[in-house]
Amino acid sequence: MGSQHRSGMAPADTAEPDLDSAPGPVPEPLTVGIEEELLLIDPVTRTPSPHGPRLVGEATGELGDRISTELTRYQVELRTDPHTRLKEADDQIRSARTTAARAAARLGLRIASTGTPVHGRTAPVPVTPGARYARSVAHFRALDDEQIVCACHIHVGLPDPRDAVHVSNHLRPWLPTLTALTANSPFWAGRDTGYASWRTTTWGRWPVAGPPPYFESPAHFDDLVHTLLEAEALIDRGGLYWDVRPSHHLPTIEIRVADAALTPDDTLLLTAVVRALTATALAAVRAGDTAPRPAPEVLRAACWRAARDGLSGSGIDPLTGDLVSQAALVEELLNTIAPALRRHEDLDLVREQWRRLRTEGNGADRQRAAHRPRSSTQDVVDHILSATCRYQGDIGAAGEEAWRTSP
């Protein structure tokens, strides 16, 4: 393929990105909202526990509508309010995780932020009661059976839905890089899958999932969604499971490509990057710039490679088809969004967190590091629980001893 590059930039090398590069287009500060899907875990068996609705009932008094049920009874979802300052969003994420963890502990349970469960029966899942979930099971059948997967969704405020459609086009080439950066689901059914993000592979089975198509116009988006609804590939607009979508119920664009983040710091990095990327794309849209248009087959292959290898090794540049160091692809992304990071006062945060990931690895790397000393998947679960919320590492000596000495 040719030498097309995002935003007209040349490929980055593996040096630290120049986040102080010349300022570019600077949109107004954008709001962000975060949704985190979490698993509920039995601390003795270290398997998913089907008491998500009970946990929601236990925590609603403190969290209100910022906690809700999910498709399976193994899961809950935590949400933030919209914020323009990341510090405020970060505080809400940390406090919500702590509140949910304390509520889970009162039920004898724990919460885990990971894209897939490490242990446990994977099919069929216990589905949360509700008309929409029942309709999904009836319509999609065995597709729902293995959906014990958790993601982190970032909503960025774009009041004009036409902007969201055009911004989606500009975000498409970066989806593999975001997948590699946030991969946090290497284990499934008690074994290492060989993938950094097994959730991405599992989720790709849905009829409307993965990278979205290139939309010629907002009317093209509306026509395509109408066609998919008429063809019964969707049961409603909430079933648009593309990695990026204009929200069907909020004035936002929703970026859905990431695994549930292991730590709040990981969530914060993702949020900062996604907001700056959206701001950069919005500036390009308003300037009349044409979005890069990678071949769908190459973009899909790049997403697969990112899900398999995460930050390690090489990734596929969707615009050239070339194998490139995955770190170089991340650095190209950070160079591209540097002006927007600066505008949103997130530059230092992203610098610090990217240095951390280059040393520690993404969530998948850290899960595997926990497994390595004793080849123990139980150790992986314990690491996930303590990384999800510090409170869970200090619940009580008696419970901890029973937990760690259990078969």
d(CA 84, CA 88): 8
Over residues 70-76, the mean pLDDT reads 95
Mapped onto helix, strand or coil, the DSSP state of residue 165 is helix
Give the position of tokens 């992203």: 350
d(CA 123, CA 145): 5
**Percent of residues, the chain, with pLDDT higher than 90:** 82
Q: What are the helix (H) ranges across 141-295?
A: 161-171, 175-182, 198-203, 218-230, 264-286
**Percent of residues, the chain, with pLDDT higher than 70:** 89
CA-to-CA dists, residue 26 to 186, 233, 295, 339, angstroms: 37, 39, 29, 7
Cis (ω within 30 of 0) for the bond into 161? no
pLDDT of residue 394: 64
Q: How confident is the model at residue 23 (pLDDT cuts 50, 70, 90)?
A: very low
pLDDT for 398 beyond 70: no
Over residues 240-267, the mean pLDDT reads 96
Q: How confident is the model at residue 10 (pLDDT cuts 50, 70, 90)?
A: very low
pLDDT of residue 120: 84
Mind listing the pLDDT tens digit for each residue in 27-47?
469 999 999 999 999 999 999
pLDDT for 397 beyond 50: no
d(CA 86, CA 33): 10
DSSP state of 210: E
Which residues have C-beta within 8 Å of that of residue 376, sequence separation ≥ 6?
Answer: none
DSSP symbols for 259-327: EPPSSHHHHHHHHHHHHHHHHHHHHHHHTTPPPP---HHHHHHHHHHHHHHTTSSEEE-TTT--EEEHH
Mind listing the pLDDT tens digit for each residue in 297-345?
999 999 999 999 999 989 999 999 999 999 999 999 999 999 999 999 9
Domains of the chain as residue ranges with CATH: 6-405 (3.30.590.20)
Which residues have C-beta within 8 Å of that of residue 89, sequence separation ≥ 6?
Answer: 32, 33, 34, 80, 83, 268, 271
DSSP state of 6: G
The alpha carbon dihedral of 57, 151, 195, 205 has a sign of positive
pLDDT of residue 264: 98
DSSP state of 153: E
pLDDT for 19 beyond 60: no
pLDDT of residue 395: 55
Which residues have C-beta within 8 Å of that of residue 374, sequence separation ≥ 6?
Answer: none
Which residues have C-beta within 8 Å of that of residue 293, sequence separation ≥ 6?
Answer: 169, 214
